[in-house]
Structure 1
Amino acid sequence: MPLFIDSSFSVFGINTTQMELFEDVSRPLVDDLIQCKNGLLFTYGVTGSGKTFTMTGSPGEGGLLPRSLGMLFNSIGPFQAKRYVFKPDDKNGMEIQSQVDALLERQKRDSQPSVPKTPSSRQKVADPEFADMISAEEACKSGNVDEDCCYSVFVSYIEIYNNYIYDLLEEAPFDPIRPKWLGGGPLIRNNEFIPPQSKILREDQNHNMYVAGCTEVEVKSTEEAFEVFWRGQKKRRIANTQLNRESSRSHSVFTVKLAQAPLDADGDHILQDKNQVSVSQLCLVDLAGSERTSRTKAEGSRLREAGNINQSLMTLRTCMEVLRENQMCGTNKMVPYRDSKVTHLFKNYFDGEGKVRMIVCVNPKADDYEETMLVMRFAEMTQEVEVARPVDRPICGLAAGRRHRNQAFKEELSRRLAERGGPINAGTFSSKSLPALPPCELVDPADDQTLPRLIEALEQRHRIRQMMVEQFHKTASTLKSMFEQFDGQLNAKETHLHDQQSKLNQKDKVIMNQRAEIERLEKKSKTLEYKVDILQKTTDMYEQDKRSLQQELETREQRLQRELSDKRRMEQRMQGMVTDTKLKWEKECERRVNAKQLEMQNKLWVKDEKLKQLKAIVTESSTGGGCITEHLDKPERPSRERDRNMPQKRSASPSPIPTAPPVHPMHRRSQSAGGEKWVDHKPTSNLDLDTVMQPIIPNAIKVSTPNEKALSKCHKYVLRHQELASDGEIETKLIKGNVFKTRGGGQAVQFTDIETLKQECPTAPSRKRRSGSVERPVQVEDIENRVRA
């Protein structure tokens, strides 16, 4: 059941005849072909759905192809040119030969026995396989035939098998020494299969795609064209599968090319101008059916064939989808025509260079339901594809009706000659030009009217005869003068012809010289092209070396830049380390100098105290007269004992040198150890140092975040802050402050002191230097003085 898809949607049932389908589908395409418009008709569907039957037909009822050929030849039959007047130029164009060259070409072809001759159109079709397929019904004709043009039909037949193009009409030359066909189809040599030579696609000067080297046969009748088709049909690849006994394993393309050219002003000969030739073609495509290997049980080469068929049909579907998307969404995506030979060959049709029609064949079997639905979706999608077509190129010929005017002139001339009695010969006269004789029978002796009437008639005939003789002599003299003038003109024409022949010979010599010069220049051009190729290759090598060297140079420059940046970063890092170390040692030296000064001052103070006590003892003993007892009291050192729970070292700036004897009141280590209530703020991000002794603040409310409730209950606030020192050790700072109430009723903290607790490795040399007996009390005293301040 065929389904026709075009700008309009039509459905044909199983009872539709081939003639009805032809009238709706193929007839408009044949009319467009005669009007110099291209056309494409292809069948699409699942394997076994009737695509080949729709295109070819059956005995007794021809399909679309034979009916299209019949309509074409019925329309242009009386106006066909002689064979070989039109000649393909192997570049998808046509050349025009003169009548003499065409005659020589025919004689040359007839004299070559090795060239297979196309059967004459006058011969009766003898092949019973396709004789019944040619329709014998009433002939269809097109009313758009230009009678002032000459036509010629060329047909070609190709197949696309496994995405390769093969010519089904290619004939192999016959070798008389080895009587074996050397080409033209698959061969068997030494028990090996030799495939035919595949063809390639090319683009002509009008940007139309065509098969290069494809055989184009000139045909003059429907029988002749269909016989050529049937000869190629026998070479087409078919195979027996689970779904079809004669399944097409390739896409076949039968191309009908119509060449037409206008006649001259007299309507007798074709204009010898290649630019006036118009070529149009109609492509009838029988696509192979899509199939699933799970149903066909294909293996080996059949599996490969099915894969290539499905891939090409998928590419056709993809191209249609991209065209629809570009049309509906306004995009400009590239259509993948080159992914398949089928879409690449018909690229111009899908771009608008001709009318495209598709017949979707549907098999009503339930087993083909899923594949049929996919085919119907594709058919529905193709209806929405619209491509703008270019303006048709008009045929640039002379005024129409030259054949009619010449025929009418001939008929009018014949009619006038017939009215005048035909041509007049010398010595003979037509009896119609003389008056008739009156009755001359005498029955009465007294009759005196008959003889005078007869004498008058004879005299009149004599006068007319004399006039006719005079006219004849005048006409003869006129014709003689005309003949003499014609002889003179003929001699002049012959002289002019001889002159033109001599000029032509000179032109031939010039042409021969120019051809020799052209051959010399072509050889020189080839030599120069060869040198240019060598120089181009050398240039490419140098360019490649240059690119490689540039890449290597860029790589080295990048490496050098990285090394320089690393060096700069290292220098900056080292400078930072040097600066940190310098500051560290400067602070250490200053601390040691201050500590030493404080130690010497303490020693000096101790000596002064001892001297004062000794002086007091000496004075007392001298006044009291008692015995002198030496009593030296060692003053208490201005330092406090380190807290057991604080293993960290406390460091601060040294206090100023005391100018008066120090007072040794009883005091605690810091205000944090007193009776005040403290808010101990320890953030959750602080690390537990896991040391033996930890700083403990009694009477403290420990919080992770400060709040007004805790601050209202306490008088002091301490914040434990940890950071990483420059030498990599963990440094804890105790930031202390007083809590007081504000005027608004809230709580505020005023920071007053910072204690630094630093954890160090016991094996570090700095720890050994700082672990002296004198240094510890000085630091504690310093911290206490800072806290009191």
Structure 2
Amino acid sequence: IPLFSRKGKTPRRHPPKKPPNSQKDPVGVYCRVRPLGTENEECCIEVISSTTIQLHAPEGFKTNRNGEYKETQYSFKKVFGVSVSQTELFDFVAKPLVDDLISGKNGLLFTYGVTGSGKTFTMTGSPGQGGLLPRSLDMIFNSIGPYQAKRYVFKTDDKNGMEVQNDVDALLERQKRENNLPVPKTPSSRQKVDPEIADMVKQEEAYKADGVDEDSSYSVFVSYIEIYNNYIYDLLEETPDDAIKPKPPQSKILREDQNHNMYVAGCMEVEVKSAEEAFQVFWRGQKKRKVANTRLNRESSRSHSVFIIKLAQAPLDADGDNILQDKNQVTVSQLCLVDLAGSERTGRTGAEGNRIREAGNINQSLLTLRTCIEVLRENQMCGTNKMVPYRDSKVTHLFKNYFDGEGKVKMIVCVNPKADDYEETLLVMRFAEMTQEVEVARPMDRPICGFTPGRRHRNQAFKEELSRKLEERGGPVDRDMPLVVDNLVYSLPPLPSCELTDPHDDITLPRLIEALQNRHRIRHFSPLQNGKLFEKDKVIQNNKSEIERLEKKTRMQEHKIDILQKATKIYEDDKRSLQHELETRDQRLHREQSEKRRMEQRMQGVVSDTQLRWEKECERRVNAMQLEMQNKLWVKDEKLKQLKAIVTESKTPGRPEPPPRQTQPKRPSREEKRSAPTSTPVRPLHRRSRSAGGEKWVDHKPTTNVDLGTVLQPVIPNAIQVSAPNEKALSKCDRYVLTHQEVASDGEIQTKLIKGEVIKTRGGGQAVQFTDIETLRQEITTVPSRKRRSSEGKPTNGDGSDGTWTDVETRCSVALEMRAGSNMGPGFEGHGITKRRKP
């Protein structure tokens, strides 16, 4: 098997084999119920005991198939009601994790719940009611305060490790950083702390851990990150202030150290020496955290925040004076306090735009956390070996080592008892109940160095005893006494060799006596030197007072500079916002002007189209009216001519005998006249095409039409006859007619003429707008053949009426009725055809 891959990369290192640990502890899940906002608000949660709560479905929410209300109970390791204080919560949950941190073990604490359930208050707290984070910091520094190392003795590397420097290197680095950073970025113990921050950190009871190793030196480092839209950002990173073009923060990546623990690469770790300083660093990063105003919470967290407290400890040497310069003896433990963003439904929060994206990423990361817990639970209970999808989310990927046995894991489930959050609270309860079934391997105890315990105490007792003896001899006693003692001891001349090899040696003993006399003389002379040192100490104290005065003045000037910078930033922000508003208004004005021009062009097109359409409509109506009047005039002339011919024929002597009586044809009703107007007879001597107005028609006659063989037929001269309409024929004509045949209610075939106008579209094509429908019907009337005469010898009808008058009336009625149809087109020679059948 090759040791290297083809691309020349080193193979992946396997994690070091750890001794198997059969002892496992379940994930500690606690529940905290926040008070209701108003007394009249409906409550859906009831605390039954110190470990059990019960959920009541609100009114209108039915969970059973039968439509009944369902009540469910959930058990936790501890339930904290609405009256539980922050101190009691800290005693049960966070205090054991701080004890493990000082003992060299890791810990992870989550706050989980719906938006507005009190997660941030539980973690951070408020003035006078500090949360878990400030109380944990206070307990840490109360425990290791006397045993802290000087700044920069412990130094972090870029690979999640810790190095130890000697006092000289630490002093040089401290001076170098103070010279390079004239304005301190992190508060020191000499600076004035905000009273509100001090009120949150200092507690009514000073907690101390029991397992503090007095023979070790400690140092605390803190870092603060947030996971926003599945990207990691460092909240303590200092970015240059550019009021004109601010630089956005850069996201960080996750990496794996040599022990296969996950860490955030390039994350800033600040060394702090007090709880106030640590909390002030936290508060500086808290101001950069992404929050937004939603319908459910005024300051809703839009990201997951992770505050990491890293404790480095190393044993003292055998003399109990200096830190052991061995990197392998350094123990690093960390406590991660995670404030998860609340799960929410966008419909309730009224989210829009970026808020929807943020809510989607928050819900997705929480869903990934639930999935990982489910897979871990299934692997442990069913014995399977499924891969846990830690890499699907930055939250789970960062803390995968804790679930694999690198420390204790605890979770505080915060719930809001109001009825509106019932559905989300139900999901949170189910997830919490499932999380309690996951077991995490118990972390191993750190190895103890082989030095004798109590080294620091013996060294301190020796220095105190030496100081007491110097005080008895009149020497100065101050806080720098150990340094004076060391100088005094090292200033004495060394003793010569006292080994006697010859009984007649006369050199060794006189030399020893002389050395002891010199040392005795130097000891008697030391009070004079101590007096000079005392004077020098006064000068040093005066210089220190002057330095403090100058530092105070410098801080005042820096404070004024900060105020001016903030005012400048505010003015620049206002200027930027006004410029942005001006640009936005210019763009809006430009868009409105463009829209106005487009609207004017559109209205001009609509007006021109409407004007053209009405011109055509008016022309069509005028032509139709003229044609109708001509038809009426022609019909009237024809009737008069026929009557005249009949009357003239009846008055002429020797006229032939009148034709036999015929049945008067059926006259159509008023409704039939409206629906099917009759047509005029064909007259060869008069063609209506002469008044057609020069219009050209498309005569669309499908091939499936039946030839009825009637006397009157619609004829369109100079028309383009087609069996299917096409663009070429429509482009050459102005009018369009479609001949359609169907079976009427009486069983006869009726023909419909569907007429329309050809309109040119704006795209260069043609469209047909239908304007009228005319119906052609075929009616058959029978004429009886029996004739009889009256007793007077005059022809009579079958009903006994006068034959002469009836003959004229019959002859007039036998004539074809001619009526002009509405909106008849040019060249039509017949509409509404009536056909007689001979007897």
Q: Structure 2 residue aligned with 1:102, among 145, 158, 170?
A: 170
For the 8 Å contact 2:408–2:440, the answer to whether it is kept is no
Residue 114 (structure 2) pairs with residue 46 (structure 1) = yes
Q: Structure 2 residue aligned with 1:2, among 32, 38, 63?
A: 32
1:69–1:7 distance in 2 versus 1, CA, 3 Å = farther
C-alpha distance in structure 1 between counterparts of 2:300 and 2:274, whole Å: 30
C-alpha distance in structure 2 between counterparts of 1:195 and 1:76, whole Å: 38
Letter of the 1:260 counterpart:
Q
1:417–1:153 distance in 2 versus 1, CA, 3 Å = closer
Letter of the 2:222 counterpart:
V
Alignment of 1:372-387 (within 5 A): 372-387=425-440
The structure in which a higher percent of residues are helix is 1
C-alpha distance in structure 2 between counterparts of 1:7 and 1:389, whole Å: 23
Q: Which residue of 1 aligns with 2:102?
A: 34
Q: Which residue of 1 aligns with 2:221?
A: 154
1:414–1:317 distance in 2 versus 1, CA, 3 Å = same
Alignment of 1:289-328 (within 5 A): 289-328=342-381
Q: CA deviation at 1:389?
A: 3.1
> Deviations for 1:238-276, whole angstroms, at most 9, x for unmatched residues?
000010010000000000000000111111111111111
Q: Which residue of 1 aligns with 2:189?
A: 121
For the 8 Å contact 1:263–1:270, the answer to whether it is kept is yes
For the 8 Å contact 1:109–1:115, the answer to whether it is kept is no
SS at 1:132 equivalent = helix
Letter of the 1:124 counterpart:
K
For the 8 Å contact 2:113–2:343, the answer to whether it is kept is yes
Q: Structure 2 residue aligned with 1:237, among 276, 283, 290?
A: 290
For the 8 Å contact 1:45–1:362, the answer to whether it is kept is yes
SS at 2:252 equivalent = coil
C-alpha distance in structure 2 between counterparts of 1:36 and 1:417, whole Å: 40
Flag structure 2 segments of 5+ consecutive residues without an equivalent.
1-30, 34-49, 52-73, 476-509, 522-839
C-alpha distance in structure 2 between counterparts of 1:115 and 1:411, whole Å: 38
Letter of the 1:101 counterpart:
D
Alignment of 1:138-149 (within 5 A): 138-149=205-216
Residue 237 (structure 2) pairs with residue 170 (structure 1) = yes
Alignment of 1:596-635 (within 5 A): none
Q: Which residue of 1 aligns with 2:516?
A: 479
C-alpha distance in structure 2 between counterparts of 1:135 and 1:54, whole Å: 16
Q: Which residue of 1 aligns with 2:305?
A: 252
Alignment of 1:456-467 (within 5 A): none
Q: CA deviation at 1:134?
A: 1.9
C-alpha distance in structure 2 between counterparts of 1:375 and 1:423, whole Å: 72
C-alpha distance in structure 1 between counterparts of 2:267 and 2:300, whole Å: 25
Q: CA deviation at 1:408?
A: 3.5
Q: CA deviation at 1:194?
A: 5.3
1:223–1:397 distance in 2 versus 1, CA, 3 Å = farther
> Deviations for 1:82-140, whole angstroms, at most 9, x for unmatched residues?
00111110111111111111111111111114664321123331364x34322341211
Alignment of 1:61-100 (within 5 A): 61-100=129-168
1:279–1:96 distance in 2 versus 1, CA, 3 Å = same
Q: Which residue of 1 aligns with 2:327?
A: 274
Alignment of 1:201-220 (within 5 A): 201-220=254-273
Aligned length, in residue pairs: 421
For the 8 Å contact 1:262–1:271, the answer to whether it is kept is yes
C-alpha distance in structure 2 between counterparts of 1:210 and 1:376, whole Å: 30
C-alpha distance in structure 2 between counterparts of 1:264 and 1:8, whole Å: 46
1:415–1:20 distance in 2 versus 1, CA, 3 Å = same
Alignment of 1:416-431 (within 5 A): none
C-alpha distance in structure 2 between counterparts of 1:257 and 1:139, whole Å: 21
Q: CA deviation at 1:406?
A: 2.1
Residue 93 (structure 2) pairs with residue 25 (structure 1) = yes
Q: Which residue of 1 aligns with 2:281?
A: 228
For the 8 Å contact 2:239–2:247, the answer to whether it is kept is no
Letter of the 2:403 counterpart:
F
Q: CA deviation at 1:387?
A: 2.3
C-alpha distance in structure 2 between counterparts of 1:400 and 1:161, whole Å: 47
C-alpha distance in structure 1 between counterparts of 2:221 and 2:75, whole Å: 29
Residue 181 (structure 2) pairs with residue 134 (structure 1) = no
Letter of the 1:357 counterpart:
K
1:194–1:82 distance in 2 versus 1, CA, 3 Å = closer
SS at 2:201 equivalent = coil
- RMSD across aligned positions (CA): 2.9
For the 8 Å contact 2:116–2:297, the answer to whether it is kept is yes
Residue 58 (structure 2) pairs with residue 58 (structure 1) = no
C-alpha distance in structure 1 between counterparts of 2:87 and 2:404, whole Å: 30
C-alpha distance in structure 2 between counterparts of 1:126 and 1:408, whole Å: 38
> Deviations for 1:725-769, whole angstroms, at most 9, x for unmatched residues?
xxxxxxxxxxxxxxxxxxxxxxxxxxxxxxxxxxxxxxxxxxxxx
Q: Structure 1 residue aligned with 2:416, among 363, 381, 405?
A: 363
TM-score (normalised: structure 1): 0.51
For the 8 Å contact 1:61–1:134, the answer to whether it is kept is no
Q: Which residue of 2 aligns with 1:400?
A: 453
1:402–1:2 distance in 2 versus 1, CA, 3 Å = same
C-alpha distance in structure 1 between counterparts of 2:229 and 2:360, whole Å: 9
TM-score (normalised: structure 2): 0.48
Q: CA deviation at 1:410?
A: 4.5
Flag structure 1 segments of 5+ consecutive residues without an equivalent.
174-179, 182-186, 425-472, 485-789
For the 8 Å contact 1:7–1:383, the answer to whether it is kept is no
Letter of the 1:403 counterpart:
R
Alignment of 1:704-715 (within 5 A): none
C-alpha distance in structure 2 between counterparts of 1:482 and 1:394, whole Å: 45
C-alpha distance in structure 2 between counterparts of 1:116 and 1:397, whole Å: 40
C-alpha distance in structure 2 between counterparts of 1:151 and 1:360, whole Å: 33
C-alpha distance in structure 1 between counterparts of 2:76 and 2:104, whole Å: 23
Q: CA deviation at 1:481?
A: 7.4
For the 8 Å contact 2:158–2:265, the answer to whether it is kept is yes
Q: CA deviation at 1:195?
A: 3.2
For the 8 Å contact 1:61–1:135, the answer to whether it is kept is no
> Deviations for 1:503-540, whole angstroms, at most 9, x for unmatched residues?
xxxxxxxxxxxxxxxxxxxxxxxxxxxxxxxxxxxxxx
Letter of the 2:384 counterpart:
T
> Deviations for 1:633-659, whole angstroms, at most 9, x for unmatched residues?
xxxxxxxxxxxxxxxxxxxxxxxxxxx
For the 8 Å contact 2:105–2:443, the answer to whether it is kept is no
Letter of the 1:94 counterpart:
M
1:44–1:188 distance in 2 versus 1, CA, 3 Å = farther
SS at 2:255 equivalent = strand
Q: Which residue of 1 aligns with 2:550?
A: none
